[in-house]
Structure 1
Amino acid sequence: MPTFVIERNIPGADRLSEEELREISAKSNEVVAGLGEPYRWVTSYVAGDKIYCVHEAASVDAIRRHAREGGFPADLVTEVSAVIGPQTAKAAR
């Protein structure tokens, strides 16, 4: 399945309480379970007024459906074309 990064603009995201983050997570899990298609929420990062989410789904349409049904913004959805990290520099040539 393709991997996508979703940018969600949420003013004050970095000030959400643990309880609010738990509620958002529970809602996301509920929507994923009800989609009726392969979909996986990998992780999310809260930074300033944004939440950056990494999801695996068959299409951008599935990502947007998850956002719509969950009541979450999905301001920018981008398919991941490559993953790199420190180990990439050590890859065999």
Structure 2
Amino acid sequence: MPKFIVERKIPGADKLSAEQLCDIAAKSNAVVDGLGVPYVWHHTYAAGDKLYCVHEAESKEDIYRHAKEGGFPADIVSEIKNTFGPETAKKNT
């Protein structure tokens, strides 16, 4: 299944309380459970006024459906084509 990064513009996202994060996560989980299609929410990063979420789904349409049913913005949805990090440099040596 393809992975996607979802950018959500939410003013004060980096200041959300533990209780608010719990509520958002519970809502997201409930929507995922009700979608009736393969879908995995991996994790979310809060930075400034944005949330960056990593999800797996069969299509962008499923990502947008999750956002709509959850009442979440989905300002940018991009398929992740590759992942790399510091260890990637060591693979060619």
Q: Shorter chain as normaliser: what TM range?
A: over 0.9
Equivalent runs, 1:24-43 vs 2, <5 Å: 24-43=24-43
SS in 2 for 1:40: strand
**In 2, Cα distance between equivalents of 1:15 and 1:81:** 30
TM-score scaled by length of structure 2: 0.97
Which string of whole-angstrom CA distances, capped at 9 and with x for unpartnered residues, describes residues 27-62 of structure 1?
Answer: 000000000010000110000100000000000000
Equivalent runs, 1:1-93 vs 2, <5 Å: 1-92=1-92
Q: How many residues align?
A: 93
Aligned residue type for 2:67: A
The share of aligned pairs that are identical, in percent, is 61
The list of structure 1 runs, each at least 4 consecutive aligned residues, that deviate by more than 3 angstroms after superposition, is: none
Aligned residue type for 2:42: V
SS in 1 for 2:8: strand
**In 2, Cα distance between equivalents of 1:58 and 1:78:** 13
Aligned residue type for 1:31: V
Unaligned runs of 5+ in 2: none
Unaligned runs of 5+ in 1: none
